[in-house]
Structures are given as structure tokens and as C-alpha cells.
Amino acid sequence: MALQLYNTRTRAVEPFAPLDGETVRIYVCGLTPSAEAHLGHARSFLFFDVLRRYLAHPRNGYRVTYVQNVTDVDDRSIATAEREGTTFEAVIARFYGSFKASMRTLGVREPDFEPYATQHIDTIVDMIAALVADGFAYATDDGVYFRVKSFPRYGALSHRNVDELLIGARIAENEHKDDPLDFALWKFAKPGEPAWPSPWGLGRPGWHIECSAMSHELLGEPFDIHGGGTDLIFPHHQNEIAQSEALLPPHTHMANVWMHGAMLNFDGKKMSKSLGNFEPLSSLLQRHDPLAIRLLFLQTGYRKPMNFTEDAIGAATSGVEKIRKAYDMLAVSHHPELEGQRDVRVAELRERFFAALDDDMNTAGALGVLFESLASLNAAFLEEALGVLGIGDILTRELAVAAVATVDPAIVERLRAALGDVVAINGEGPEGAIARAIDARNAARKARDFALADRVRNALAAEGIVLTDGKDGTTWTVAGG
Ligand SMILES: [Zn+2]
């Protein structure tokens, strides 16, 4: 069986292949970092991280281009900046920096593109102009709006029609627009607000249009996968489709597959500041093992709503210890006799592991197989499985930190004595000094000065530092440590 994914657009699980056969182009709606991120955000981005890893794994073998935007200007970032006497950029830099640090802690990889809305104003304005020119949008005295009734397929993604939406949504009347369902593409600036020029007046983009414009600029249409949380299906994704597809040839979709991660409740309730159960992700990660959080999320299917409790995280912790133990045994003392060992039993486990992922990313099933495999301790499979699930990165990092702790601080002086003529080691700690030496060795190898490269490697080996060259660079461990 090959990879199958649930597509919100068709409401069916479908075989997946990239449209061009090679590169999977993914756009996931990113954070609006005008406040602290919470654990619900982490769940969604963590899932798409695993999806990326699996698409790129040799089993699928696709190239992946992953775009995740940053909504850097919105009412809240402007209001916070005003309250604090600072700029919206400073507010965004603070919260987004904190979010990125949390993502690194959780082992979520960096996006390939991370477009900020305010850096793509030209593209956004061009798209709005095209919508106005084609009769899909109109200017009023407070901004530019999309005319929902001009787009007959509106509501298709959320499987609701316009009449139902009008009755159900109880949208507040806005005297500035022609119809309650119409939504803002451009908002004119009030005095003192950040503003950009447009043919209709100084202002800033609406939230929905930035995703349509930036995905168009970076990926084109149709791209392969559009992702986000289920809370974004309506109205955000519905509006993105209206904006993008209004300008596309008939029957052309903005995105082929729409994937939505289910919501995370906190002690049975929706997470919100007003309920008092909102804990910033950054502080939660100080109390809990990031690996346990990753495991807890992967133990629940991404489409199932999930309830986060302190008990649940406790249960995940015991699973983490099992994995850590197996990993340490295999990683610290190399077992060459196990490398490449693919007996019948491992082949069968491996097949079941990937079959689970092929089944609409059933990470819970895959984890079950991983735990079964711990008994057979096959280094190659463990490393492969942990890599796909994004657990390996966190373990490698832990190992590096642990290794540093066992290095004699005097190594800095000894490396300087041995390599001072070719490596500048000034003021670094052991980790920095080793990193400098590794950089120098890699530079020497690049310059085909293998004698120098060997000299550096030998100097490190004399200190018990063992180098491993991988596709993501050179890592080191302490021999016998
Ligand atoms: Zn979006």
C-alpha cells in the first residue's frame, strides 16, 4: 500500500502523490505571533513536521517545499504595541522568537519558507487589484471587501452553503459592506496605525488574503497540500479558496489536498485566556519533557480531538524512558554487528510501521510497532523509525549535551596546543572548541587537504572525541562514554 491521506476537500481518504510527481508543495497557515503560542499550536505544527519527514523519507522519496507564514500585523499586535509604547515588529519578534525556540525544543524542523505578510505587500495588493478588476471585490469607506455572492462555490470546503452560513453564523452587521458574509481584503489605517500604500488608500492586508497571495507567490496553483487546524476551515480556508480560485481558470483548485489537525482541549475545555486554562507553550515546556509531549501527540491520531491532562503526560513519560534506554544502548556503544541486520522479524516490523503511516498518517499505530521493536534492538530500524517520527533529533541533541558534560574542560587548552596553528580557539568552552575543530576539518576536506583533515580528526580522537559524518553534517560522541 502506498501513502493515503484524508482530504477535507473531498471528504475521503485518497492515495497521495505530488502533482508533478517529484516535489510536494505544502502551505500550512502559521502563527499570528501577537501573543504567546499554546500547546494546541504545537500539536498542529508537530503533526505537519512528521508528515514532512515521512514524505521525504526514502519510502516516499519526494522533495518537499514547506511554507509556513507569519501573520505579523493584525489588530492585536497593533493594540499590544500601542499599550506597551513599542512597535508591532517588536511585539512580533518577542512572541515569534519564543515560539521558534519552543518548536526547536520539540524537534520541529524549520520551514523552507517563512514569509512575513508585511514583506509581501506588493503581491497582496496585486491580488486584491485583480479581484476588484474582475468584479469579485469592492472598495468602501473603511477598506476593500470580497463579495462572497460573486463566488458560487463559497462554502464547499466546509460543506455549507451561503444561506446556511447566513442563518447559522449570526455575523454582526457591518454598515461598510454590502453583505454580512463579505470579508475584508484591505483595511484602511486609522491615524497612528502602521500602514502601506495601495490604490485604494493607506492600510494593511486582511488575514485571509495574505495566505492566498503568499502561497501563490511561493508555490503557485494548484499546490499539493494546504494544512492547518480544523478551526481554520471556516472562515479562513473558505475565504482563501474564494480569493485564490476566483482568479484561477475554471475547475482549478488552489490546493489539491486540504489537511486539518483536530483541536486540543485542556482538562476537557477549549484552551482560552478567559477560562484561565491558558498556559504559554514556553512555560509548559519548562515543566514537561518535550519528548513526552511529542510522544503524547503522536499517540493520538491527528484527526482526533484530544484532551491534554497532567496524567496523560505522565503516562507518555514512561514510554519515553523505554525509547531513551534503547536508544542510549544502541547509540553510545556502537553495535556494528546489528547495523544492517534486517532479519525477517525486523522486515515485518518495518513493513507494519510504514503501513501505519501510509494509513492517513496513523502515528499511533506506528508508535505501537516501534515499542514492539524495542525488544529486538535493531539499530538501523530504530534510527529510521525515530527519524521519521522526529524523535531522533531530540535524542541526538540530548546525547550531545550529555557528551559535553563528560568532556574534560582542559580539552580547550590541549586542542589549542595541538591545533592552534590551524584553528583559532579563543574563549570557547569545550563544546565550542570541538565545533571549531570540526569546522576546520570540514574546510580542509572541502579543500582536499586530507592530511590536515586527518590531523584534526586525530587530535580530537586523542581526546576521545569520535566523529560521525552524516548527511546533515558532522556529529561527535565521546568514545566509550
Ligand atoms: Zn492561512
Q: Please classify residue 252 by burial: count the beta carbons closer than 10 Å to its beta carbon, then call 0-12 exposed, 13-18 middle and 19+ buried.
A: exposed
Average pLDDT rounded to a whole number, residues 289-295: 94
Question: Mean pLDDT, to the nearest integer, of 358-385?
Answer: 91
211 C-alpha to ligand 1 centroid (Å): 5
Distance CA 185, CA 131 (A): 10
Q: How far is the CA of 110 from the centre of ligand 1 (A)?
A: 18
> Grid coordinates standing for 230?
480544523
- What is the whole-number distance in angstroms between the Cα of residue 228 and the centre of ligand 1? 8
What average pLDDT does the segment 269-292 reach? 81
What is the pLDDT averaged over residues 162-170? 65
Q: What band does 375 get if pLDDT is binned at 50, 70 and 90?
A: confident
Average of per-residue pLDDT across 235-264: 96
| 143-146 vs 137-139, strand pairing mode | antiparallel
The DSSP line for 4-66 is EEEETTTTEEEE---TTSSEEEEEE-----SS---HHHHHHHHHHHHHHHHHHSTTT--EEEE
Lowest mean pLDDT among 54-63, 215-224, 410-419: 410-419
Q: What is the pLDDT of residues 53-96, one digit of tens each?
A: 999 999 999 999 999 999 999 999 999 999 999 999 999 999 99
125-140 pLDDT tens trace: 999 999 999 999 999 9
With a pLDDT cut of 70, the percent of the chain lying above it is 93
Q: What does DSSP assign to residue 190?
A: P
pLDDT value at residue 11: 95
pLDDT tens-digit readout, 453-474: 999 999 998 888 888 887 667 8
Mean pLDDT calculated for residue range 163-167: 70
Distance in Å, CA 27 to ligand 1 centroid: 8
Ligand 1 centroid distance, CA of 105 (Å): 24
50, pLDDT greater than 70: yes
CA 319 / ligand 1 centre spacing (Å): 35
Task: Check residues 157 and 203 and name the one with the higher pLDDT.
Answer: 203
pLDDT tens digits for range 95-119: 999 999 999 999 999 999 999 999 9
Ligand 1 centroid from CA 126, angstroms: 18
pLDDT tens digits for 250-278? Answer: 999 999 999 999 999 987 777 666 666 67
**336 CA to middle of ligand 1, Å?**
47
Is residue 1's pLDDT more than 90?
no
Which pLDDT score is estimated for 83? 92
Q: How many A from CA of 115 to the centre of ligand 1?
A: 12
Beta bridge partners of 25: 65
Kindly give the distance from the C-alpha atom of residue 181 to the centroid of ligand 1, in angstroms, as a whole number: 18
Share of the chain above pLDDT 90, in %: 64
**Ligand 1 centre and the CA of 330: distance in Å?**
42
Residue 49 has pLDDT above 90, yes or no: yes
Model pLDDT for residues 224-233, shown as the tens digit of each residue: 999 999 999 9
Residue 190's pLDDT is: 92
Cα of 29 to ligand 1 centre, how many Å?
A: 4
DSSP-assigned states of every residue in 293-342:
HHHHHHTS-TTS-EEE-HHHHHHHHHHHHHHHHHHHHHHHS--TTTTT--
Q: How far is the CA of 236 from the centre of ligand 1 (A)?
A: 6
What pLDDT is stored for residue 88 in this prediction? 94
Ligand 1 center–CA 120 separation, angstroms: 14
Cell of 323: 525509547
Interval between CA 128 and ligand 1 midpoint (Å): 16
Q: What is the pLDDT averaged over residues 359-377? A: 92
pLDDT of residue 177: 87
Burial 315-343 (b: 16+ CB within 10 A, else e): ebbebbeebbebbeebbeeeeeebeeeee
Q: Tell me what the mean pLDDT of segment 188-205 comes to.
A: 96
Distance CA 218, CA 115 (A): 9
pLDDT at residue number 334: 53
pTM score of the predicted model: 0.84
Rounded distance from Cα 340 to ligand 1 centre (Å)? 43
Whether the per-residue pLDDT at 34 is higher than 80: the answer is yes
Ligand 1 mean position to 33 CA, how many Å? 14
Give the pLDDT score at 277. 66
Distance 220 CA to ligand 1 centre (A): 15
Q: What is the mean pLDDT of the chain?
A: 90
Q: How far is the CA of 71 from the centre of ligand 1 (A)?
A: 9
